[in-house]
Amino acid sequence: MKTIRTGLLSLAIFTGLLPLKAQQVDTASYSYSLQQCIDFAIQHNTNVENAVLDETAASEKVKEIAGSGLPQINASAQVQHFVVIPTTVIPGGGPFGGMPGTFTKIQLGTSDNASLSFTASQLVFSGSYFVGLKATKTYEELAKKNVTRTQLETASEVTKAYYTVLVNDEKKKLLDANLLRVKKLVDDTKALLDNGFVEKIDFDRITVTYNNLKTEVDNINRLLDLSLVLLKYQMGMDQSAHLTTTDKIENLTFSTDAASSGKFDYNKRIEYQLYDLNLTGQRLLLKSERMGYLPTVALFGTMSTNCYRSSFDFFKSTTPWYPIGIIGLQMNIPIFDGFQRHYRVQQAEVGILKAQNNLVFMQQTIDMQQAVARVNLQNSASSMQSQKDNLALAQGVFDVAQKKFDQGVGSNLEVINAQTALKEAQTNYFNALYDALIAKVEYDKSIGIFK
């Protein structure tokens, strides 16, 4: 359990450095199974909440892009006062009179002008826009898949933390039972010492064993509390809440038969789905670049009105405003851009090849992960069973040594040695048990059945 203890202590230090999330103190009590803990985490874990917010932002981004194809209407108003009216030079000798070769300077316009205009435009055709609409659906789907991926990662961390609590709880039960047995041995040895049947060194030996075991019991109690801190942290639960686990280790199985037959469906893995979506996005990007060779057509219209004053007064009913109205059709036809779009198309084609390679690589990665996870689970389960058998043997040796001591035909040194061997067997068993549980989580993830 050394690795568990180290990880939990590191977490305690790390979480102590994090800013506290503002929330109300939760003093409620919860008795949760593993699935209930996962469900709670899906609703309250900060990473999941942020992923859901990213999905919402992606949905709003899709609406923003779609809005660029809707009518665009704008209004503007402008007021000008010319401190100096612009001067125009007119050559002489024409219809304006004057000597040829001379120029007449005149000031045209008024000192105060105002204008009010409304413009509207509507996109009629743009190949890139219509492809972009399809791409936004892929973008939105990517955000949804990211939520699923975050939920799976959170569920995985909650499961590992939950199993840590179960292992520590089981270890606590065995250590408490050990402590009671050794305490009885201490009391019995003290009685024999008082009656002169054993030497003081025999009593001191068993007392040392008892004190060491008591210290270990205190340590596992604190470690169990810390593992609950870790579990509540992964769940997003307030640390002041009281949480107890209801699942039992003996109900867990360590089979590797779930994916032993038939070809594996890679779509069961969320990572593969994300790479597949990336390939779809690259194909749409290529299509969008190719659509850029087509013309873009848009309707537009403008309504405006202007007025001119020699003084700053635009609201007299006796002075006119002069309206202007324009409607039109605009077509932008790409002719030559220095081969820029051609090279962008080439880059998009390369992007597709990379996305295809990444998809194949993910398949190979999944195959490798499954093979490794299967072997690790088989080895861990085998090691756990072996350590479990050793634990039973060590328990039997201790029981025999205890019985012989009680009947006066054995020494307390024999009992102490049996107790030491039993404690070592228990430690080895719990380490193997924890490794098997973690291997089970990784195997379930590798074959896509982890929920």
CA distance 308 to 112: 6
pLDDT at residue 207 above 50? yes
| DSSP assigned state of 250 | G
Half-sphere exposure of 76 (CA within 13 A, CB side): 10
What is the percentage of the chain residues whose pLDDT exceeds 70?
89
Q: Which two tokens stand for residue 18?
A: 């994090």
* Residue among 215, 220, 213, 228 nearest 171 (CA): 220
Question: Is pLDDT above 80 for 94?
Answer: no
Average pLDDT on 82-108 reads 75
Three-state DSSP string of 153-206: HHHHHHHHHHHHHHHHHHHHHHHHHHHHHHHHHHHHHHHHHHCCCCCHHHHHHH
What homologous superfamily does CATH list for 2-16+36-68+126-294+337-446? Outer membrane efflux proteins (OEP) (1.20.1600.10)
d(CA 14, CA 4): 15
Could you read off the pLDDT of 117-157 as tens digits, one per residue?
A: 999 999 999 888 889 888 988 999 999 999 999 999 999 99
pLDDT over threshold 50, residue 99: yes
Cα separation, 96 vs 108, in Å, equals 14
Task: Write out pLDDT tens, residues 40-60.
Answer: 999 999 999 999 999 999 999
Q: Which amino acid is at 337?
A: D
pTM of this structure = 0.80
Tell me how far apart the alpha carbons of residues 22 and 295 are, in angstroms, rounded to a whole number: 54
Confidence grade of residue 8 (pLDDT, cut at 50, 70, 90)? very low
pLDDT at 284: 93
Label residue 165 exposed, middle or buried (CB < 10 Å: 0-12, 13-18, 19+): buried
Q: For the segment 311-362, what is each residue's pLDDT rounded down to a tens digit? A: 777 666 667 888 999 999 999 999 988 999 999 999 999 999 999 999 999 9
